[in-house]
Amino acid sequence: MSIKVIGTGAYVPEKIVTNDDLKKLIDTSDEWIRQRVGIEERRISTEETAAEFAVKASMQALEDSGISAGELDLIIAASISSETVCPTVAGFVQKEIGASCPAFDVNSACSGFLFALDTAVSYIARGEYKNILVIGSERLSKIVDWSDRSTCVIFGDGAGACIVSKGDGYLASNLYTKGDDGVISIPAYGGSSPFYTGVHKAPYIFMDGQETFKFAVNKIVSDIKLITEKAGLTLDDIAYIVPHQANVRIIDFASKRLGIPKDKFFVNIQKYGNTSSASVPIALDELARSGKLKSGDILALTAFGGGLSSAVCLLKW
Ligand code: UT7
């Protein structure tokens, strides 16, 4: 048994921070950020939390699906930047939307939403769960070191969500993890135990940009080839690729190496930057609402990042 997506939603906070705004904080330029990353502006929260974004994206997905919160059997949220470890983002959403089903969070950094979606597919395959809400939500501005120009210019805040139900639309997937803190690491709050003698690292994103870049390009290319083969399809069968929005140059390289035209890659990084686990579901929602998708279109959703991790799936729309 497989799934189909029956509704999507997204939410980004109102405040727009442009590249020129960032020049007031750090030594950077609009030209460098546009050319090296492809970002023009990002949304940054002034008051709301990742869990609150998640509620708004979820309500939109529910409305789009036509089902009520009471019909949800499970909520799974991916987040690395919630204000609270407990309640979970999924648990907070459950309360706010008036659902009563189980709810839990997963964490696989930028690949988190696709790990959560794959988990939802497994629950649906068990036959006990009919409708599952899957969310990616991040307030990355909380875990960015705003004095580090190599990271603070690339991240943004937002949330995306989708509701999946029984169907035949999940054609193939692949999850990958290589436990490693040398390339990307995000230390959590160190605590105040008087007995702990280990090092307390600052709770901000550390990233070796160039190593991450190489990993990302290689992974998008190999992941998409792998699942296309798994599904018995060819690259030409893919109508759209919805990639993690980390750097437009990563997408350009992937397009060239796969021989898939750039216009098949959905790109919105210029507006939102890299929103980690929220990036794929925000892009999926925008693509779905653009009216470009036809029933039966094959979509490849692909993400990569901290872990190190990557995840990919083929969806039939
Ligand atoms: O979501 C998780 C996955 N993340 C990713 O996929 C990110 C992958 N990596 C990247 O997108 C890129 O590596 C970055 C955007 C992070 C950095 O771009 P880069 O082209 O790899 O730059 P770099 O780190 O090689 O730095 C080149 C130069 C350096 O100056 P020097 O040493 O050549 O004088 C940096 O200090 O650019 C400088 N630089 C900046 N200059 C202006 C670094 N950040 C900035 C900045 N503004 N914000």
User: How long a stretch of residues is the chain?
Assistant: 317
Ligand 1 centre distance from Cα of residue 218 (Å):
18
pLDDT at 61: 98
pLDDT at 270: 98
Residue 48, sorted as left (phi over 0), alpha (psi -120 to 50) or beta, turns out to be beta
Residue nearest to atom 36 of ligand 1 (CA): 150
The alpha carbon dihedral of 38, 269, 111, 2 has a sign of negative
Contact indicator for 97, 135 with CB cutoff of 8 Å: no
pLDDT at 259: 97
Residue nearest to atom 14 of ligand 1 (CA): 209
pLDDT at 36: 98
Over its length of 317 residues, how does the chain's per-residue pLDDT go in tens digits?
Answer: 699 999 999 999 999 999 999 999 999 999 999 999 999 999 999 999 999 999 999 999 999 999 999 999 999 999 999 999 999 999 999 999 999 999 999 999 999 999 999 999 999 999 999 999 999 999 999 999 999 999 999 999 999 999 999 999 999 999 999 998 899 999 998 899 999 999 889 999 999 999 999 999 999 999 999 999 999 999 999 999 999 999 999 999 999 999 999 999 999 999 999 999 999 999 999 999 999 999 999 999 999 999 999 999 999 99
pLDDT at 1: 67
Ligand 1 centre distance from Cα of residue 280 (Å):
22
User: Quick one: tokens of 291?
Assistant: 């009216």
List, by residue number, the catalytic residues: 110, 244, 274
Ligand 1 centre distance from Cα of residue 31 (Å):
13
210 CB within 6 A, ligand 1 = yes
pLDDT at 238: 98
Segment (H or E) for 11:
strand 2-11
Ligand 1: residue of 22, 23, 36 to mutate (most ligand atoms within 8 A of CB) is 36
146 CB within 6 A, ligand 1 = no
